[in-house]
């Protein structure tokens, strides 16, 4: 997949396009992309996803505390894996948000992206105040010779899947529900950095994960069964999200993973952990001995889940 940043887009010819922020690349987004690929193949056109950066809600001051399900590199990798040929990043500004739908459609989609087929999600609107719904977009398509196709919502238990609902599930620690809506296991990617190394003293060495994406969302504080990928190899493990109240003052938030059947020094390496199931809440233990006993219980539970 080739990635381009607007307005520095090479001459790509006519395109089949879908637009949106696509945070999470959840099952609904995947349905849109699959339809895009079908339309592109049927029309003999390259496929293109046009996304925005940063998140529109942050730029417009509607959610200053917004956390993301997928940072840009994750989004890029997932779209590439789905088979998208081109990714165009459109810088989102207040000026862009103020454009009327017709102006945006003409200047960005028709004139710059040369769209011939446009695929949109069930709730996708464009233009100032998101005023143009599917019917309005289809009218614009008719006016400019663009075929417009809408994809129905992805549902779980008769509820429409959205990035907001997935964030809510993660906030509650329900990673199983989040994974069902995503269509894959929610993951955290980062570098292993030095920590207090207290885990080694009680037989549970941990890797402290530093994510370079400051907006990346972590699930609710607690212990989780996780799948670990390190140097391309899979491992089982258990991860704690929180402030480690037994060990420190409970001020610094961290994500630390204990990898099962593993004893190598991995400081500085890149690691991915995928959340499988929540084990328990984070709580302060009275001693390191009590903490060790609880970690033994957690390990047994996590190994059973991962089997």
Report the 3 state secondary structure along the chain: CEEEECCECCCCCCEEEEECCCCCCCHHHHHHHHHHHHHHHHHCCCEEEEEEECCHHHHCCCCCCCCECCCHHHHHHHHHHHCCCEEEEEECCHHHHCCCHHHHHHHHHHHHCCEEEEEECCCCCECHHHCECHHHHHHHHHHHCCEEEECCCCEECCEECCHHHHHHHHHCCCHHHHHHHHCCCCEEEEEEECCCCHHHHCCCCCEEEECCCCCECCCCCEEEEEEEEECCEEEEEEEEEECCCCCCCCCCCEEEEEECCCCCCCCCCEEEEEEEEEEECCCCCCCHHHHHHHHHHHHHHHHHHHC
Q: What angle do CA 303, 170, 186 make, to 5 degrees?
A: 60
Among residues 39, 74, 85, 256, the one annotated as catalytic is 256
Token pair for residue 138? 């289809």
* Closest to 245 in 3D by CA, of 277, 198, 297, 278: 198
> Which residues on adjacent β-strands are paired with residue 228?
235, 273
Structure token pair of residue 244: 């480690």
Active site residue 256: yes
Residue corresponding to tokens 């080694």: 200
- Indicate which residues carry an active-site annotation: 256
């Amino acid at each position: 997949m080739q990635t381009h940043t607007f307005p520095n887009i090479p001459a790509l010819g006519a395109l089949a396009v879908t637009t949106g922020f696509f945070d999470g690349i959840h099952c609904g987004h995947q349905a849109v992309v699959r339809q895009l690929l079908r339309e592109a193949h049927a029309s003999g056109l390259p496929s293109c996803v046009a996304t925005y950066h940063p998140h529109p809600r942050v730029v417009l001051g509607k959610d200053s505390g917004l956390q993301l399900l997928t940072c840009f590199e994750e989004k890029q990798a997932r779209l590439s894996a789905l088979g998208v040929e081109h990714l165009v990043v459109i810088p989102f500004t207040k000026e862009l948000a103020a454009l009327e739908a017709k102006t945006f459609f003409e200047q960005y989609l028709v004139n710059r992206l040369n769209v011939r087929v446009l695929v949109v999600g069930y709730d996708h609107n464009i233009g100032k105040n998101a005023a143009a719904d599917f019917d309005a977009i289809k009218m614009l398509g008719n006016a400019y010779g663009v075929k417009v196709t809408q994809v129905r919502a992805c549902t779980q238990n008769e509820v429409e899947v959205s990035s907001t609902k997935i964030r809510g599930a993660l906030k509650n620690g329900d990673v199983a529900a989040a994974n069902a809506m995503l269509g894959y296991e929610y993951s955290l990617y980062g570098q292993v950095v030095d920590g207090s190394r207290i885990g080694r003293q009680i037989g549970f060495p941990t890797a402290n994960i530093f994510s370079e994406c400051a907006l990346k969302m972590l699930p609710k504080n607690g212990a989780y069964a996780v799948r670990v990928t390190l140097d391309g190899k899979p491992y089982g493990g258990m991860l704690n999200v929180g402030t480690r109240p037994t060990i420190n003052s409970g001020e610094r938030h961290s994500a630390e993973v204990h990898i099962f059947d593993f004893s190598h020094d991995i400081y500085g390496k890149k690691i991915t952990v995928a959340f499988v199931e929540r084990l328990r809440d984070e709580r302060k233990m009275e001693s390191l001995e009590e903490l060790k006993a609880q970690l033994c219980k957690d390990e047994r539970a996590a190994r059973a889940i991962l089997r």
